[in-house]
Chains A and B, each alone.
Chain A
Amino acid sequence: MGDDAAFERLCRELEAWEGASELTMTDVLNLPESLRHLVNWVLRAGHVSVRELATHLGQDEAVTASLLGDLSRKGLVAGLDVAGETRYHVRTRDRRSRGVSSNVWRALE
């Protein structure tokens, strides 16, 4: 699949995906294929710039910046300042409370 066809597929998947207020790794696992590949790539890179992502996708920076905006609105990436440059990373969250009796916690503390 060429870069443009692959990119179009990615955009379609992103549009159809409902988004996540707090992305978990389980969410990542269940993403549509193209979107999942992209998120995996960003996760493994740590954080990426618009330029780096544009190179990866074979698209120009303006189109890529727009995509990053959409990814951010859907909760897949977040911007962060790294030495004065805006870079993007995947922000996963999992802060769960296990339902165990408070007596057990008190005994352990």
Chain B
Amino acid sequence: MPTIVSVHSFRGGTGKSNVTANLATLLAAGGRRVGVIDTDIQSPGIHVLFGLDESRMTHSLNDYLWGKCGIEQTAHDVTPRPEVATGRVMLIPSSIKAGEIARVLREGYDVGLLNDGFHTLIEALRLDVLMIDTHPGLNEETLLSIAVSHVLVVILRPDQQDYQGTGVTVEVARKLDVPRLMLLVNKVPAVFDVAEVRSRVEKAYGADVAAVMPHSDEMMTLGSAGLFVLRYPDHPVTATLKQVAAKLVA
């Protein structure tokens, strides 16, 4: 049965899109057909990680929400190294055009269409996994993503604001009966004890900590210019992401 995975964080800058893109890449490398949908309509960006230029975006999620096309027409094959890949990554980007973002902000859209779109995508593209890259914080769209997901990955930094916000998110996730909840602590300073961070977070939220990821200068330097797991296949962060990917489809 296809798995819907939402990747969420209460606050911005936690590394959501980076984690989503890299996990999707790893899952595809393992032979899976993976859809990635950028529901962060107000501040889209995951398409940058996949090297999808605005000029090559034939349709976007915005077009679907405005009834201009079917959602499957918004899917772009961004599979890295397709000549060797056994799986696929299909990206449904949100528009980066200021006018189109403005239109959504001004007029809103039918959130119910998003839910219809998720299921249509899974069927039309024969997806094994649909990953939803969400806008940070709680709003109608993120609540919907959480509600329809089989797995919710909540990303946080070891930061007091993130800790408090994650508590809110975990409470909401439990009210929405998310079957599997995983926490991923990202950008952890080198001076922190990983085991202690894991233990503290597990205790605080009563939830599985999928990974504690150290801050990486290489990741910061790459700066979303590409996919970390391909650029640094032997890096400890890549090894950690592989473990998380395995957990997602376990």
Contact = CB atoms under 8 A, between A and B. Distances in A.
Interface of A: 24-26, 28-29, 36-37, 40-41, 43-44, 46-47, 89-98, 100, 104-105, 108-109
Contacts of A91: 112
A26 B143 contact: yes
Main secondary structure on B side of the interface with A: helix
Max chain A C-beta neighbours (<10 A), residue from B101, B115, B118, B148: B115
B98 A109 contact: yes
Interface residues of B, number: 30
A79 to B, nearest CB: 14
A29 B142 CA distance: 12
Given A25-B147, A46-B115, A109-B98, 11 more contacts: A25-B144, A26-B143, A43-B115, A44-B177, A94-B108, A95-B110, A97-B108, A100-B105, A104-B102, A105-B106, A109-B102
A25 B147 CA distance: 9
A108 B108 contact: no
A28 B143 contact: yes
A92 B115 contact: yes
B148 A92 contact: no
Given A28-B143, A46-B119, A93-B112, A36 B175 contact: yes
Given A25-B140, A92-B112, A94-B108, A40 B177 contact: yes
B150 interface: yes
